[in-house]
Each structure stands twice: as C-alpha cells, then as structure tokens.
Amino acid sequence: MILQESPYLLYSDGKGNIFEDTSLYTIGRTGWDAIPVPEGDWIELPDGGSLYELPGRRGIGLDVKTGEMRLCEKGWAVAAFIPPAYTGLYLAAYESEPGAPLLPLFCYTAAGWHNDKFYVPAVRVEQDIRQECRGYNDNSIQSGLEQLLNAYPHNRLVKHLADNCCNTYHCPAARNYFMGRWECPVPSSPACNANCVGCISFQPEDEAIPATQDRLTFKPTPEEIVEFTVPHLQTAPFPLVSFGQGCEGEPLLMWETIGKAIREIRKHTPNGSININTNGSKPAAVQALCEAGLNSIRVSTNSARKHVYEAYYRPNNYSFEDIVESLKVVRRYNGWTSINYFVFPGMTDSVEEYEALRKLIKDTDLSMIQWRNFNIDPDWYMGKIGQYETGEYIGVKQLMELIHEEFPQVKYGYFNPPAERIHGNYETDFAHW
C-alpha cells in the first residue's frame, strides 16, 4: 500500500528493541544529504525484509509540530534491509557519533512506522519470485540436499553448495538448487583480480568488517561442474546455471575450466541458459566462453563512470574499458547482457551518473539493468572512494523512469532471466505464484 503521509521515525534501545518516536517523522538520505521522502515513495516493508539498529548513530527526523529537522535522542538509529526484488530509494538518515563502529556489509534503507506497520521507500523492480522467503520449504531442501549428496558423493562443488552455501550462508540460489528449480549457482574461482572495498568474500585483515562468506578454497574440474549442472538443466523449471557467486573470487580467472564445462554441458543438453556473473575484466576470455556456448553475462558495477568504478573496484591489470568491452562481446554473439548495478542514492541518481549510464547503454546495447541494493556502510563507502561532494541528483525513481522512457528495450529486474524469458514473453515467462 502506498502511504499518503510520512511515517514516524524508528529508534532502538540498543538491546534489539525498536520503538516509534511520534514526535518525529522519518526522512531519508541521498549522498551526504538528509531530505524528506516523497509520500508516494513509501511502501510496506516487504516480506523477508529485516530491521537493523545502528549503534553509535542518532536518527534524523522532521519535528511533527515545527517541521524542523532534528536528531532523535531517545536511542540508536534504525534502518531496513529490504529483500531481493525491491530497490531502495533512500538510505537511512542519521548522524554518527565519534567512535561509531563500522556497519557490516548489508544495505541500510530508510524505515518508518505507520498504522502499526513498518514502511520503506522502495519499488519492486522484479516480478520473478525465485527468492521470496515464503517459497522455501526446509524439508524439501534437506531431502533434496541428501539426495544430491548421495547422487554425487565425490563432487566437491555439490558438497560446498550443501555445507557452506545452503546450510551455513542460507544462500537463496543454493536452496533453489536443492529444491530442483530455477537458478543453480556454480562457484569456481578461489582468486580475484579486483580488490573491491566492500568485497563480500574477502576482507583484508586490517579492515574492521568481516566478509559475509568465505571464499571457495579449491578449483573445481570441468567434470565436477558438468556432473550436477546437466541434470539440473534437463529437469528444473525455468533452468539456468550461473557461474560467479558471492562465495568466490572472479570466475573469468577460471575461463579455461568454465569453457570446457560449457562445451561439455551443451553436448548433453540444449536446455536452459548458461550465465556468468562477473567483474567483466577479461573480454578475450568472455569471447572464448561465448564461442563455447555462454548465453548471458551479468557484469557487476557500482558506477558507469570510470573514476568512480576504479576507486571502488581497485582493479589489478584491467580497467573500466575492459568491462564495457566484455558487455559488447556478448552482444556481438547475440547474448543477453545485464549490469548488476549497485544502487546508492545520491551517487547512482546523480546527473553525472545518469549521463554516464545513458552512454553505457548506447555503447553496449545493454539488455537489462539489475537495480541492486548496495550492501555497504554508506559513510565508509563514500569516504573510501573519496566522494565528499555528490553534486546534483534526480532521485532513483526518476532515474529509472527517465532511462525507461529513453530506452524502453532495456529490461529491469533483480535476477538473471531464464532462457524462456529472454526468448519468450519477458512479462510472463518466469517463476511466479
């Protein structure tokens, strides 16, 4: 339901209890600015969302009587982690006290309280329900897991997907694999040629935040990859297999292995889509994979601007131009190309970024934008990439509307589409209730 007035600000007592402050309306943050959120942008916190207390931080709100902006002194600030398929439009607005601890690698969207419900400024960009928490059944996951571990007793990858991805990290993609449906994750690379500030699989010892999952420790063989992916492509609804997962480094560093696996997979089945999630650093390797039978690519980026990209990715021996070239290569092979676009209000919707994004879409004939929430401490991110000024911004929702108006062929979403959706009816051919 869309709200017709601002919700009240939320605060926590530091013990995990959250309260509303009815003397303050909650507002949002974009870049370094705290600003009111347009009423029409608030939606109920979707199922699967969660709330965080932000230690050492005071929420900023609008006094319900005077309209003045002021801090909530009653407790710590609160933010929302919104579930996949939704994109946050404003960050949580707060002021950090000296010594406030670094926030872990999650997204921190504004949140408020109204009529006994939590609200967030967000839009649903993806209708595919593959990661909706009500769709998971623990019993069928565990029975699927046992069955597949028995079917592939010597397969290190299936064991990694079972023990680490499914049972430790509760990875939605791994859980779908063990339920025999949709997207199957295929991690393959223990190493990476980038040094992202907010890497979720590796954080240097001198950084104060942990990686959210440990990186793969072995190099799978083509045989190990083929063994469990072919049956998945042959039997799963809307099947796709995706190289490049959160629990590994950069899959393009394993392109020879992946290429051999793709060729072998396609000897056994034409079904489904074979995708790679990547930093796009090696266009020549991407070309070799297209030759082998790769169907789609998703290149991750925090920006369509070279200097903003390189300040965050800190690439080893590659540059922003390489990731652009990788997108072009896949289009030359008539493949599907997406950007995994880390949305940061104030940066993503700055006028400079908007112009750069328009250029990227034109130069690469991009197929899709996956508008992903950026899982990172906002102050830390901006400080690390040296962004102390964000310039003029247009609003994330307006940015989405402007891009859609100019490039109606570019699809929006949150997940890699199956072959049925790419070649069929984009509006209907995917997983839904």
Read out DSSP for 385-417? TT-S----B--HHHHHHHHHHH-TTSEEESSPP
Nearer to ligand SF4, 192 or 292 (CB): 192
Residue 197: CB minimum distance to ligand SF4, A: 9
Q: Helix, strand, or coil here: 418?
A: coil
Kindly tell me which of 105 and 120 has the beta carbon lying closer to ligand SF4: 105
Residues that bind ligand SF4 (CB under 6 A): 192, 194-196, 199, 201-202, 249-250, 279
Residues β-bridged to residue 69: 62
Would you call 351 helix, strand, or coil by DSSP?
helix
The residue written with tokens 């902006």 in the block is: 69
Nearer to ligand SF4, 12 or 279 (CB): 279
What would the two tokens of residue 339 be? 């950007």
Give the phi and the psi of residue 419 in degrees, each rounded to 5.
Answer: -60, -35
Question: Is the CB of 57 or the CB of 215 nearer to ligand SF4?
Answer: 215
- The tokens for 274 are 């074979």
Nearer Cβ to ligand SF4 (279/370): 279
CB of 199 to ligand SF4, least distance (A): 3
Q: Which is nearer to ligand SF4, 199 or 419 (CB)?
A: 199
Cβ-based nearer residue to ligand SF4, 169 or 202: 202
Nearest distance from C-beta of residue 175 to ligand SF4, angstroms = 21
Question: Alpha carbon of 255 to those of 181, 280, 313, 318, 396: distances in Å?
Answer: 26, 12, 20, 16, 35
C-beta of residue 345 within 8 angstroms of C-beta of residue 88: yes
Q: Closest by alpha carbon to 157, among 234, 202, 222, 213?
A: 222
What spatial distance separates the first Cα and last Cα of the chain, rounded to whole Å?
20
Closest distance between ligand SF4 and the C-beta of residue 188, in Å?
12
For residue 48, the minimal CB distance to ligand SF4 (Å) is 23
Question: Helix, strand or coil for residue 368?
Answer: strand
Work out how close the CB of 173 gets to ligand SF4 at its nearest, in angstroms, rounded to a whole number: 15
Minimal distance, residue 193 CB to ligand SF4, in Å: 7
Q: How far is the CB of 195 from ligand SF4 (least distance, A)?
A: 6
Closest CB to ligand SF4 among residues 191, 284? 191
Query: In terms of DSSP H, where are the helices of 205-319?
Result: 222-235, 255-268, 283-292, 306-313
Are the C-beta atoms of residues 180 and 205 closer than 8 Å to each other?
no
Sequence-distant (≥ 6) Cβ neighbours of residue 330 within 8 angstroms: 286, 290, 294, 296, 297, 336, 337
